[in-house]
Amino acid sequence: MGRAIFYAFVPLLILFVITGSACVMAYLFALYFNDPAMLRKMMIRLTQIMLVLSIFPISKRLGLTKEMLGYAPFKMMFKQFGQGLALSLVVLLPIFAVLNGLGVHSIDMTKAWSLAWFAEKCGVAFGLALLIGLVEESVFRGLLFSSLSKYLPAFSAVLLSSIYYAGLHFLDSKSPVSAETLSLTGSFALLGEAYKNVWAMHDLAAFFALFTVGLFLGTLRLCGERNLALCIGCHTGWAWQIRMSKSMFHVDFSSPYSFLVSHYDGVIGILVAGWVLFVLSSYWLVTKVIKLPSFTR
């Protein structure tokens, strides 16, 4: 138990170092450009960049090869990415169908609907979703999962990586920064507020939904040794659909069924969490109890 607790907190210590470094660097950038408003965004971007860059030294330190991180030859990864993308549509499209059927989502007729507008939104949304999928899956189902599974059982690695995945989505602060409040001390105060927002759990439904999404992606990662692209494809597909929903749909939070979604993005919430858990339970029943073949790579 003590060993598990120790390894569970090691990623948090690394995160403290990375976010602390990002805090100092963001302050220096904001000071140099004399732009206090850029402090918060720079802290976020620098943290993301350093998390990705940390993959290389940590992997080398732990003796993790690219195969152990889940990377396969390009041709295989391309095929896995397509499978993950298709899976994301199968899993998430029913959610949009239900939300539209219940009136929580409705087509936003204030948009300048046209084929060119739709194509542009699709392209931009997919590009951003692909970047999110690559970065987050390389960090969470690549480095973090592989590092934890080196010392802990696979289930514990999936569980812990899912908790970190959900929590980091809330590592943010909304306090404005002005020329009067711009200081290194103020920057760390902003960082402290960001961590406080994670611990506060202001939106439990969104956190739990993201946690179940992490469990789903972690389960995909367990389906093979070199199938990280499967997770990247699925994550990309989900992020793409959610971004498109923001462009296409209006969310009616006054609807009697609005409790099914959260204010986080108008999609994830109780409905997503329940549906993903149902899918995971069905997968477990089919592969472990009925003994049918598991997800093919």
Kindly report, residue by residue over 4-25, the tens digit of the pLDDT. 788 889 999 999 999 999 999 9
Give yes or no for residue 96 having a pLDDT over 50.
yes
Residue spans per domain, the chain: 2-289
pLDDT value at position 289?
A: 65
CB atoms within 10 A of CB 62: 13
Q: Which pTM does this prediction carry? A: 0.92
- Residue 291 binned pLDDT confidence (cut-offs 50, 70, 90): low
User: Distance between CA 146 and CA 155 in Å, rounded?
Assistant: 12
User: Distance between CA 158 and CA 219 in Å, rounded?
Assistant: 7
Query: What confidence tens digit (pLDDT) does each residue in 189-198 have?
Result: 999 999 999 9
User: Of the ranges 3-7, 146-150, 183-187, 271-275, which is most confident?
Assistant: 271-275
Query: What confidence tens digit (pLDDT) does each residue in 164-186 have?
Result: 999 999 999 888 888 888 999 99
pLDDT value at position 296?
A: 44
User: Distance between CA 143 and CA 123 in Å, rounded?
Assistant: 29
